[in-house]
Amino acid sequence: MADLLSLTLAEARDALKAGETSAVDLVTAHVGAMERARPLNLFITETAEQALAMAEAADARRARGEAGPLNGLPIGVKDLFCTTGVLTTAGSHILDGFVPTYESTVTSKLWADGAVMLGKLNLDEFAMGSSTLTSYYGPTINPWSPRDGGGTGDGFARKLVPGGSSGGSGAAIAAGVGVGALGTDTGGSIRQPASFCGITGIKPTYGRCSRWGIVAFASSLDQAGVFGVTVRDCAILLTSICGLDPKDSTSVDLPVPDFEAALKDGVRGLKIGVPKEYRVDGMPAEIEALWQQGIDWLRAAGAEVAEVSLPHTHHALPAYYIVAPAEASSNLARYDGVRYGLRVDGKSIIEMYENTRGAGFGAEVRRRILIGTYVLSAGYYDAYYRKAQQVRSLIRRDFDRVFEGFDAVLTPTTPSGAFGLDNVPDDPVTMYLNDIFTVTANMAGLPGISVPAGLDHQGLPLGLQVLGRPFDEATLLRVAQAIEDAAAFKLAPPFNMRA
Amino acid sequence: MALDTDSVRRIAHLARLKVPDDQLDHLAGEISQILTFVEQLGAVDTTDVPPMTGMATQKLRRRPDVVTDGQIPDKVLANAPDATGGFYSVPKVVE
């Protein structure tokens, strides 16, 4: 094989199956790439030794005729999934030294299908952010950042964020480290970094895959998902991670289709809605143009496209910033310096709690815990949390109504391309606006995918988002495939292990 | 809703989160800004709208009420900052 790092997940799978390469050779190439890509700060923990041992085991399984669907494929894991015997940090100081004694369901399913873990990828602290800037381990650099000098050194003319919270996952796949990656999406944390990094990322329907063993942020919104270079790669990984888990009572007992097989069905005859409320004030002309381009592509591929209305769209973001912090404040109450992670001593147990949590949480997490505590405090619950949950019902009704006549909805993924590390809005509300097109799917529990569609005026990637009916990821993937085919997007970031 | 520094100090205590005094003022400003942002929801008519409490249309599954796990104290305590004799240790609670 000429260049193992240039293979997509599907190509690598087929090459392994055909005996053109081995899992050890493929994984060795990706471990080398992981090490050379260190200037991007992709991983919090690299697990090269474990990866090579898993690769040897994968080759042995293949020799015995027991290769699973992902046998020998190197995958990066967002450091929010608990992994047995491997440090799991959630990007937070408060989980210092936490080595789980159990494995998340989603990662277990990947390993059961033969995949190989490369390492634990960087993220915003507790998945709270859109840039990886809130990670205790420092930000990940977007491989599309303009270079100052060639090669894979640490010279950047300007450092750009990869998006977040699954920024390490997005940047790793864009740079060619790993053939696929796991992420989680609470308000856009898969789709926004996929858009910023020029790759594909899908958040399945809430309940489609188990949340067991994922560090909890906002339990009614959190959902695991995957990143790949292509829609096909995402379809393959998604088939592996979905399914009922008795350990997560919100996981749903529905058959999991072969998502890859669905791709061939195309979009002819599908009805695609374009929600007028997503045409927000001040939207850059290039985003508008890309959106129109997507509409034209889908029409040319045989879909019917028409304008639809989702009247409660602009209430999704404020409702999200009640629900997410409220649930976070409750979930993060478990970090108390007693059972795991950091402890900062105090004279009394209360002081020990306060010192530990004061030292262990970063500024964004602290802000959200305080907001969440406030909106749930006595006398405020109805005015904030209950109200927000009612607004969620209205958002879901909007979508249900549209899906009576349409198969999917097309929108931009983000209101802009990647921004600079040095150009971050200093007020939280402006930062939150990054999620404006993505939070609706989480609020309504719907599946969403971002697929790269073009470049902005600075040559940075922009994605289009497709939202669909609950548990109809297959249609989402078909629409995304049509966009991918038409866009012929070239994944060529300046910092690229494939080159 | 504008929060003052005393309110922030009170919330921080409820959340068992130590916030240095010199940061209270700044935090009060930020939190007030976010609360003002979310309070635009007050304009939405939610009369007779039930709050969304679950995503799935299916009923919650039931399972047999039996022990499926246990007898793993070493694993449970493996990450404790301080564990003695099979227990978590904490600063003295009773005077």
B81 at A interface, C-beta within 8 A: yes
| Domain-embedded: residue A219 | yes
DSSP annotation string for A274-319:
EEGGGS-TT--HHHHHHHHHHHHHHHHTT-EEEEE--TTGGGHHHH
Show the CA angle centred on residue A143, arms to residues A137 and A144, nearest 5°.
Answer: 135
* Mutation to test the A interface, candidates B5, B24, B55, most A Cβ within 10 Å: B55
What is the phi-psi region of residue A43: left when phi exceeds 0, alpha when psi lies from -120 to 50, beta otherwise?
Answer: beta
Q: What CATH code is carried by the domain that includes residue A86?
A: 3.90.1300.10
| Domain-embedded: residue A28 | yes
In sequence order, what are the residues at sequence separation of 6 or more whose Cβ sits closer than 8 angstroms to the Cβ of residue A288? A279
Q: Which tens digits make up the pLDDT trace of B15-37?
A: 999 999 999 999 999 999 999 99
The reply to whether A189 belongs to the active site is yes
| Domain-embedded: residue A476 | no
d(Cα A468, Cα A228) in Å, to the nearest integer? 19
Asked if the Cβ–Cβ distance from B13 to A394 is below 8 Å, we say no
Task: Count the domains in chain A.
Answer: 1
| Domain-embedded: residue A152 | yes
Q: Which tens digits make up the pLDDT trace of B32-80?
A: 999 999 999 999 999 999 999 876 656 777 889 999 889 999 999 999 9
B29: closest chain A residue by CA: A427
Element (H, E) at A27: helix A23-36
Token duo for residue A70: 């992902």
Asked if the Cβ–Cβ distance from B34 to A391 is below 8 Å, we say no
The reply to whether A78 belongs to the active site is yes
| Domain-embedded: residue A45 | yes
Asked if the Cβ–Cβ distance from A366 to B91 is below 8 Å, we say no
* Mutation to test the B interface, candidates A210, A370, A433, most B Cβ within 10 Å: A370
| Domain-embedded: residue A344 | no
Exposed / middle / buried, residue A448 (Cβ in 10 Å: 0-12, 13-18, 19+): buried
Tell me the Cα Rg of chain A. 21
Q: Which amino acid is at A83?
A: T
Angle between helices A316-331 and A363-376 (to 10 degrees): 100
Helical segments of A404-462, H only: 428-432, 439-444
Token duo for residue A126: 């507790």
| Domain-embedded: residue A110 | yes
Given the cut 0.85, state whether the ipTM is greater than it.
Answer: yes
d(Cα A485, Cα A408) in Å, to the nearest integer? 18
Cβ-contact A161, A197 below 8 angstroms? no
Greatest alpha-carbon span in chain A: 70
Query: Taking Cα atoms as reference points, which of A12, A19, A36, A474 lies closest to residue A228?
Result: A12
Question: A195 is in which domain, residue-wise?
Answer: 4-264
Spell out the domain ranges in chain B.
Answer: 5-43
Window B:18-77, CB contacts with A under 8 Å: 18-20, 27, 30-31, 33-35, 37-42, 44, 46, 49-56, 58, 60-61, 63, 72, 75
User: Cα distance from A239 to chain B (closest Cα, Å)?
Assistant: 20
**pLDDT tens digits, chain A, 499 residues: what are they?**
459 999 999 999 999 999 999 999 999 999 999 999 999 999 999 999 999 999 999 999 999 999 999 999 999 999 999 999 999 999 999 999 999 999 999 999 999 999 999 999 999 999 999 999 999 999 999 999 999 866 667 789 999 999 999 999 999 999 999 999 999 999 999 999 999 999 999 999 999 999 999 999 999 999 999 999 999 999 999 999 999 999 999 999 999 999 999 999 999 999 999 999 999 888 899 999 999 999 999 999 999 999 999 999 999 999 999 999 999 999 999 999 999 999 999 999 999 999 999 999 999 999 999 999 999 998 999 999 999 999 999 999 999 999 999 999 999 999 999 999 988 877 777 778 888 999 999 999 999 999 999 999 999 999 999 999 999 999 999 999 999 999 999 999 999 999 7
| Domain-embedded: residue A29 | yes
What is the phi-psi region of residue A20: left when phi exceeds 0, alpha when psi lies from -120 to 50, beta otherwise?
Answer: alpha
Residue A383 DSSP code? I
Which residues of B are less than 8 Å from A427 in CB distance?
Answer: 30, 33
